[in-house]
Amino acid sequence: MVATLPTHQKAIYLNTQTNKLSFTTQAPLPSIPEEHILQVHSTAITNGELTWAPFCNWPTEHVPGYDVSGTILTAVAGSKFAPGDIVYGRVAAGREGTAREYATILPSETALVPARLKGSKRGMQEAASIPMSAHTAWQALFTQGELCTPPSVDTTTGAVIGGQAKGKRVLVLGAAGSVGMMAVQFGRLAGAWVAGTASPGNKGLVGELGADEVIDYTATTVSKWIAGEEERKFDLVFDCVGGRSMLDGWSAVRSDGIYVSVVPGFAEPEGGKPEGVRSKWFVMEASGEELEGIGRFVEKGLVRGCVDSVWRLEEFEDAFAKTKGGHARGKVVFGVAE
């Protein structure tokens, strides 16, 4: 099957010496025996990904973009996936990305696209918007945040096994971002009472996703919203924003609660964190098995990704600028396949 592929392809490159992006139609096709070659349908941008070069062993010309949906073209020994499978996943940032027509992905990073999404261009764009955001939110709540036993879908009966966090309270700082929106949905599936911070323009969206209360960060702070009332505090505060919001969020954690962040520059408040409060900062890890489980909720319509906008690879400058602006509602996606 590889022999039928073209010799060159469209791709976006990041020059790690100059930090400049460029577009080419003459990029070589990848060939890594332990990875599936994937015909890319869509790939999504992660905010801040162009700053990762100092932490990754990238070549001078590096392909960005790590969330992907597409069609497997080649077999890999021992993989459960086969040519023709419609898949999605998160490629580790240490390897070449997927902002190109043909990319590679490890079997361990891969899951089948939920049937509800794979029948349309729009569905495949949504699929590409899901992996990083879903992994990050899932791991923040259930792995790092230890909120409860994760919800699941019974593979035999299709029954949803949820409600394990009933009686607990979760606050999501930045609930209208791609990770925050996933955290709101997962918190509700687990049965927690969920609040999220958002601007007035995003209040309706966050509410639709299941937030019990949306705090307008342009009108008040979390500290003022808590107003010193212990019962208004949270078992888990998940910071997707950083900066002032991160420091403000410390006022919302119960004495036996946990503060989880994924934002670079995570810091404890001056004088130290409140007594009894635990804190964790982490970087998500891709897992095809985890994504497969999350996909069962997507298939049932209980979880959805959110696409802010869709761009062609040739429009890379505008697409990355939209992401860098920090106000995208969900993910900025490249529609790659015609």
pLDDT tens digits along 35-46: 999 999 999 999
The pTM of this model reads 0.96
How far apart are alpha carbons 336 and 175 in whole angstroms? 28
CATH 3.90.180.10 domain extents, the chain: 8-131+305-335
Pairing mode of beta strands 61-62, 102-105: unpaired
**Under CATH, which number does the domain 145-281 receive?**
3.40.50.720
**Exposure pattern of 144-180 as b/e (b: 16+ CB <10 Å)?**
bbebbebbbbeeeeeeeebebbeebbbbbbbbbbbbb
Q: How many helices (H) and strands (E) does the chain have?
A: 8, 18
Which pLDDT band holds residue 173 (cuts at 50, 70, 90)? very high
User: Is it the case that residue 338 has pLDDT exceeding 80?
Assistant: no
DSSP β-bridge partners for residue 105: 36
How is residue 20 written in tokens? Answer: 């400049």
Which pLDDT band holds residue 328 (cuts at 50, 70, 90)? confident
Cα-based angle 36, 51, 136 (whole degrees, multiple of 5)? 60
Task: Check: CB of residue 248 under 8 Å from CB of residue 237.
Answer: no
**Under CATH, which number does the domain 8-131+305-335 receive?**
3.90.180.10
Q: Which residue has the tokens 């900066």?
A: 243
User: Is it the case that residue 271 has pLDDT exceeding 80?
Assistant: yes
- Looking at residue 259, what is its pLDDT? 97
User: Is it the case that residue 233 has pLDDT exceeding 90?
Assistant: yes
- Looking at residue 312, what is its pLDDT? 98
Q: What is the mean pLDDT of residues 98-109?
A: 98
CATH 3.40.50.720 domain extents, the chain: 145-281
Cβ burial, residue 275 (10 Å; 0-12/13-18/19+): exposed
How far apart are alpha carbons 65 and 12 in whole angstroms? 9
Which pLDDT band holds residue 3 (cuts at 50, 70, 90)? very low
